């Protein structure tokens, strides 16, 4: 790993064992993208990659019209000079001009990776793990400065990028757009994969061809959203799960975003991601600066599974923080689907006691414990314990739960408020709404203006007090509506364009403060399920509720799609009742568990209501997960059969030392007289013997011959017939000498 500067050519080569990233300073002083991909040899000069040619309708430099930015690959493109494609930034000056010409002035190369104040970002624990390049530019006419930052990691084929814009001039400017990452590629022979959906069907992969024009996804909802995820893969047309070149771009941010690819008329491709410029405008007075969120580029030549495993390891080890970042997650029991808001302390303790008998480790009390909160219409925002339900408060209930030998957790939805609440009656100006216009409602609630410090102060005091009173082990942080009417009563007219981003910054600040106060606390993020499941949130909450849809069949798709860009340990996944409350589907409790194992695992039901036989099975499920969650949550995950393409699904996790694996196979609908299904396993050591149900196989056999699964009686890899059937296989290794 190194960053080499070639002074004569004004070029920078960032590389490690797998990738190279080459930046050059163009003749007009702006940064150019010369190469990104598989590791190449270093050389003194890559100037042959700069294009000089004359074409009709092209504009170029006055002293050499054969050089045009439009015909070159730019690193952080501007608009209005010689590049007429979509720019990475847009600054409006006092005279109304939007033309900026940043000129290279200096650079810095340092060991390690600096953090981003107030924003989530990858980090290092040792300065030898990474190197960082900062390129400094200035627009001489206005004094505005640009700092582009790049970090290359020793152990990952990853580049982390961000941009900072500083007003060092004498007049205020308006920043209207600032991407975190922009990269120009020499061709557009890629397939675009986005992860889209809606509530209850999050992160379905959507693949499309890239041609001339713009392909774009994004969010204007105030959060990253279930509709489109701020994670995109560009892959070569022949790339599949196990071979071929691809790269991904993830925005480490939880608010409005865009990700887009622009194919130009000459066959090249421009990709960028960052804060959505719609609804964004940031006034910079002299001396002020704006820091973009971080973006992460990840590259592979070994297929999409390899790309995902890099991301999984990177996020577990260098994005998540604290005691829980790679710690096995507690098996929990949540009361929501059992009681909704209709409960009292006796009912809660009865559910928790039964969970303890089953072996669960954490009980979570969901919505309804505060204010006058008996339904969705009232109480939200009044974060004071309802003593009619919990006579001894959160502290009293928590003690009784802990005396059972369980950890205790609590649900919050701090960003929201009902009209029927003491908080709204006292502070109607604390909600995001436009004066004189009707307020929209979602789930009968409004959004608190988290861009305001007084709102932040109230929420911090209330959450801190309750966490301390209950000595909580876990917090489920929910958000059940999208932001609309984004107008702050506390902001001036020219500051309204800052409200969306300030909301996110204060949201992060609240997390950061609570983590500092309670470093042992496990946070789980939730936003009506997966509506704020992004890389940014993982910096604060190492796990996120994957979806409100707990149906096992739908969860195959949701968890399969989520695994492309997020670790298995980050996916909140629970066993719930049958028929399922979201879909009405009836599935065996074995299949519900076999799907939920590949996540954080827990139960969303009243275990007092199940049969004795099911309860015994649940106890076995809990024991199984305790024994194998380390492999499942922190092992290498492989997608084997896609539920988006087949009536079947299969995946597996392999321990890092390759001594143990958990392989899961799912059949969705029954097929009459079906044939054998051959599944080749992955990630094993070909030279080791592995043991499955008392029989032994070399890793090479399991990966090259595979396992043949059938419904035929007496056959080795038999599964039952019927709909929604599944089986999990444990695979153990011993060395050839039998040790």
What separation in angstroms does the CA of 418 have from each of 119, 372, 459, 499, 666?
A: 29, 11, 15, 21, 42
What one-character-per-residue DSSP string does 461-493 give?
A: HHHHHHHHHHT-SEEEE---S---S---TTS-G
Quote the CA–CA distance of 697 and 686 in Å, as a whole number: 10
What separation in angstroms does the CA of 62 have from each of 47, 66, 276, 313?
A: 20, 9, 34, 49
Quote the CA–CA distance of 260 and 276 in Å, as a whole number: 11
548 among known catalytic residues: yes
Beta bridge partners of 190: 236
Count of C-beta atoms within a 10 Å radius of residue 76? 25
Point out the catalytic residue in the list 367, 420, 473, 548.
Answer: 548
Q: What are the b/e assignments for 684-703, b being 16+ CB within 10 Å?
A: bbeebbbebeeeebbbebbb
Calculated CA dihedral for residues 70, 74, 76, 81, nearest 10 degrees: -30
Point out the catalytic residue in the list 478, 549, 551, 636.
Answer: 478
**Closest listed residue to residue 417, CA positions, set 381, 453, 384, 443:** 381
The answer to whether 482 and 223 are in contact (CB under 8 A) is yes
Quote the CA–CA distance of 344 and 680 in Å, as a whole number: 51
What DSSP character marks residue 127? G
Q: Both tokens of residue 445?
A: 């609630």
φ, ψ of residue 259 to 5 degrees: the values are -130, 130
Quote the CA–CA distance of 538 and 320 in Å, as a whole number: 6
Q: Both tokens of residue 468?
A: 């301390």
Q: Both tokens of residue 448?
A: 């608190």
693 among known catalytic residues: no
Quote the CA–CA distance of 560 and 641 in Å, as a whole number: 10
What separation in angstroms does the CA of 645 have from each of 546, 566, 706?
A: 21, 21, 20
H/E run at residue 337 = helix 336-339
**Closest listed residue to residue 528, CA positions, set 541, 514, 544, 506:** 544
**What burial class does residue 152 get, using C-beta atoms within 10 Å of its C-beta: 0-12 exposed, 13-18 middle, 19+ buried?**
buried
Quote the CA–CA distance of 715 and 675 in Å, as a whole number: 12
Q: What is the CB-side half-sphere exposure of residue 515 using CA atoms within 13 A?
A: 22
Give the residue numbers marked as catalytic.
478, 548
């Amino acid at each position: 790993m190194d960053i080499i500067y070639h002074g004569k050519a004004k070029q920078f080569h960032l590389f490690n064992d797998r990738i190279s990233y080459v930046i050059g300073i163009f003749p007009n002083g702006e940064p150019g993208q010369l190469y990104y991909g598989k590791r190449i040899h270093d050389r003194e000069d890559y100037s042959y990659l700069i294009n000089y040619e004359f074409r009709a309708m092209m504009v170029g430099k006055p002293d050499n019209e054969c050089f045009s930015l439009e015909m070159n690959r730019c690193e952080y493109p501007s608009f209005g000079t010689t590049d007429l494609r979509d720019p990475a930034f847009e600054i409006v000056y006092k005279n109304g001009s939007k033309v900026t010409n940043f000129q290279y002035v200096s650079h810095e190369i340092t060991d390690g990776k600096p953090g981003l104040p107030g924003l989530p970002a990858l980090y290092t624990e040792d300065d030898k793990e990474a190197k960082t390049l900062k390129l400094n530019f200035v627009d001489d006419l206005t004094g505005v400065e640009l700092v582009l930052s790049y970090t290359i990691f020793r152990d990952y084929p990853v580049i982390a990028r961000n941009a900072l814009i500083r007003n060092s001039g004498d007049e205020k400017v308006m920043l209207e757009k600032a991407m975190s990452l922009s990269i120009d590629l020499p061709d557009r022979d890629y397939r675009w994969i986005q992860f889209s959906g809606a509530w209850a069907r999050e992160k379905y992969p959507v693949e499309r061809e890239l041609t001339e024009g713009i392909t774009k996804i994004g969010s204007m909802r105030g959060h990253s959203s279930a509709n489109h995820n701020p994670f995109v893969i560009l892959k070569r047309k022949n790339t599949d799960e196990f071979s071929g070149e691809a790269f991904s771009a993830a925005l480490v941010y939880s608010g409005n975003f865009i990700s887009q690819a622009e194919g130009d008329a000459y066959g090249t491709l421009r990709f960028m991601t960052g804060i959505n410029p719609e609804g964004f405008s940031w006034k910079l007075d002299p001396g002020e600066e704006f820091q973009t969120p971080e973006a992460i580029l990840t590259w592979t030549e070994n297929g999409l599974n390899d790309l995902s495993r890099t991301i999984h390891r990177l996020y577990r080890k260098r994005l998540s923080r604290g005691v829980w970042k790679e710690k096995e997650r507690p098996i929990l029991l949540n009361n929501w689907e059992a009681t909704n808001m209709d409960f009292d302390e006796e009912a809660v303790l009865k559910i928790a006691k039964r969970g303890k008998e089953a072996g669960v480790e954490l009980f979570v009390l969901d919505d309804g414990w505060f204010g006058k909160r008996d339904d969705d219409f009232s109480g939200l925002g009044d974060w004071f314990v309802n003593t009619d339900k919990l006579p001894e408060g959160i502290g009293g209930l928590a003690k009784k739960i802990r005396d059972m030998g369980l950890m205790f957790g609590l649900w919050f939805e701090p960003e929201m408020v009902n009209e029927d609440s003491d908080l709204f009656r006292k502070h109607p100006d604390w909600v995001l709404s436009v004066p004189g216009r009707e307020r929209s409602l979602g789930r009968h609630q409004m959004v608190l203006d988290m861009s305001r410090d007084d709102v932040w102060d109230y929420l911090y005091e209330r959450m801190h007090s309750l966490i301390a009173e209950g000595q909580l082990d876990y917090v489920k942080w929910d958000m059940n509506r999208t932001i609309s009417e984004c107008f702050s009563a506390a902001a001036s007219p020219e500051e309204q364009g800052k409200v969306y981003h300030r909301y996110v910054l204060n949201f992060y600040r609240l997390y950061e403060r609570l983590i500092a106060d309670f470093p042992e606390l496990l946070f789980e993020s939730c936003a009506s399920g997966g509506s704020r499941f992004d890389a940014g949130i993982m910096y604060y909450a190492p796990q996120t509720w994957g979806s409100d849809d707990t149906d096992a069949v739908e969860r195959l798709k949701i968890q399969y799609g989520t695994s492309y860009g997020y670790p298995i340990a980050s996916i909140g996944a629970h066993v719930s009742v049958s028929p399922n409350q979201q879909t009405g589907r009836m599935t065996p409790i074995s299949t519900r568990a076999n799907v939920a194992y590949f996540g954080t695992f827990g139960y969303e039901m009243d275990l007092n209501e199940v049969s004795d036989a099911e309860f015994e099975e649940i106890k076995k499920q809990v024991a199984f997960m305790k024994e194998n969650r380390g492999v499942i949550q922190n092992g290498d995950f492989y997608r084997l059969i896609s539920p988006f393409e087949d009536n079947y699904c299969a995946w597996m996790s392999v321990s890092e030392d390759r001594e143990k694996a958990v392989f899961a196979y799912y059949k969705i609908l029954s097929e009459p007289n079906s044939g054998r299904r051959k599944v080749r396993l992955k990630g094993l050591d070909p030279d080791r013997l592995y043991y499955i149900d008392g029989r032994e196989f070399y890793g090479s056999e399991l990966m090259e011959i595979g396992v043949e699964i059938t419904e035929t009686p007496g056959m080795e890899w038999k599964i039952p017939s019927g709909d929604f059937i599944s089986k999990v296989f444990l695979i153990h290794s011993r060395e050839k000498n039998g040790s």
